[in-house]
Each structure stands twice: as structure tokens, then as C-alpha cells.
Amino acid sequence: MATGKTHARFMRLIVDGVDLSGDTRQVGEFGVTYDTAECTGWSDGVKNFTLGHANHLLNGYQAVFNNTAATGSHTELSAIEEYIISLPIGIRAAPAVGDPAFLQSFEQMSYTVEGVDAVLISAGFSKAITDNDHEKPFGVTLAPGTSLSATTNGTSVDNGASSANGLLAHIHVTATSSGSWALKIQDSANDSTWADLITFSADGSAITAEAADVTGTVDRYLRFQATRTSGTTSFWVTSARQ
């Protein structure tokens, strides 16, 4: 994982089981805003505000029109449904383990095709009901879409300290050939003794995506573990501490 400034071309957009990065032109904005309510009393010297509900944003999406079966932007987004979305942010290179990531479930609200020369599509998204109790959508990348053909303990990510409010995680299976895997996120207090934190239902046998969560304490270190029975499969995994 590198640190420092980066460029939008090093972001990747994973929608359900499809990596749309090769078609994506832009994402206008993504992140979190909060409703505010004034709570100023008579004796306060300045106006005070309290934060209300969070609003998770993914606006201004545009991509090149692509109707390739299963993987094209038009093929995926013209369905207009709820999507499990991860947006890893590479730092001056393609995303690596430990790089920042934005993850949430979104309901698609619009889909339009436009343009004369370069045919483009635009889509709008709004936060879905799924995982609406998870306030924090920013976290880290635990698996960067690498094709695996052997049991793999992913590189660990150091959060600096444990956290107490659980974890939201996404897994995206974007390619597979006769895959059969046990797929987990593990945590550790010391980066050497690991315990299973989340076990995904997905087994790598099909192109798919899954959101999973856990409550309570999450230890300082996290990693993705893929235990192989058979096949070659590509995984994106992101997680956000709550």
C-alpha cells in the first residue's frame, strides 16, 4: 500500500460480480453527508448544530456503452436493480491490499444512453435499504481482484488499533473456472494468531457478489483468506469498520 496523492484513473468500480473499470468514465462524487439540526440555546455564544442521519452518495456516474455479455456496462446497468458496490482507490497505481475503499449497497435510480460519436451511458444511484444500519462506508481493500489458483492468506492490513462496532464487508467474484473455495475475513490482535471473523456464503463457483457483516470487537489486523478445493477464481474484497 502506497500513501499520498493519487489520480482518478487508479480507482476501480466493482458492481456486483462485474468490474466496470474498463468502461467507466467518471464518478461525479461519492461519500457521506449528514443532515444537521440547529440546537442553539439562549446562553450559547455561537450557533450549535447536531448531526442527523447520514446520506451515502454515488452520483454522476458515466461510462462508455458496452453490451458485451455479462461484463459490459450496458449489460449490467440496464437491469436497473440493487447493487453491491465497491470502489477501491489505488494510490498512484492499481488498487492494492490496504488501499482505501468505498463500499455500500445502492439502488439504481436511472439509466440513460446519450451521445452521437462516443455512445455513453449515465446511471444514478441512491442508498439501498440493505445495510442501512451501517453508517461508515469508507474502509480498506483486502483483495484487489487477483486471480488465485492456490490457497492464499492475504496480506494483513493494520488498522492501528482494534475497534468496537463491527465490520461491513463485500466480496465480488469477477471470474471463475470450476472454482470451489472457502472464503473468509480473519482478524488478529498481533498479526500472527488469526481467528475467523466473517465466512462468506459465496464459494467462488459462480460470478456473484455478497455483503456480510459482524458486530462487536474487530481486532487490529485484518486479512482475506481463500482456501482452495479446486479452480481458478478472481476476488475483490473490501471492508469498513463501523
Read off the CATH number of the domain in which 227 is found: 2.60.120.1110
Say yes or no to pLDDT of 139 above 90. Answer: yes
Range of the domain at 161: 140-241
Say yes or no to pLDDT of 115 above 90. Answer: no
Say yes or no to pLDDT of 1 above 80. Answer: no
**56-68 pLDDT, tens digit each:** 999 999 999 999 9
Three-state SS annotation for 96-143: CCCCEEEEEEEEEEEEEEECCCCCEEEEEEEECCCCCCCCCCEEEEEE
Query: Is residue 186 assigned to a domain?
Result: yes
- Same-domain status, 114 and 144: no
> How confident is the prediction for the chain on average, in pLDDT?
96
Confidence of residue 214 (pLDDT cuts 50, 70, 90): very high
Confidence of residue 151 (pLDDT cuts 50, 70, 90): very high
- Among the candidates 93, 127, 161, a domain finishes at 127
Which residues lie closer than 8 Å to 143 by C-beta, 6 or more apart? 97, 154, 171, 224, 226, 235, 236, 237
The model carries a pTM of: 0.94
Which residues lie closer than 8 Å to 1 by C-beta, 6 or more apart? 91, 96, 97, 98, 99, 157
Total domains present in the chain: 2
- Among the candidates 79, 95, 127, a domain finishes at 127
Three-state SS annotation for 137-194: CEEEEEEEEEEECCCEECCCEECCCCECCCEEEEEEEEEEEEEEEEEEEEEECCCCCC
- Among 162, 211, 207, CA closest to 187: 162
- Among the candidates 69, 99, 127, a domain finishes at 127
Query: Is residue 3 assigned to a domain?
Result: no
- Same-domain status, 146 and 220: yes
Read off the CATH number of the domain in which 64 is found: 2.40.10
**CA-to-CA distance for 32 and 29, rounded, in angstroms?**
10
- Same-domain status, 165 and 208: yes
- Among 110, 107, 109, CA closest to 129: 107
Query: Is residue 42 assigned to a domain?
Result: no
What is the per-residue pLDDT for 30? 96
- Same-domain status, 211 and 168: yes
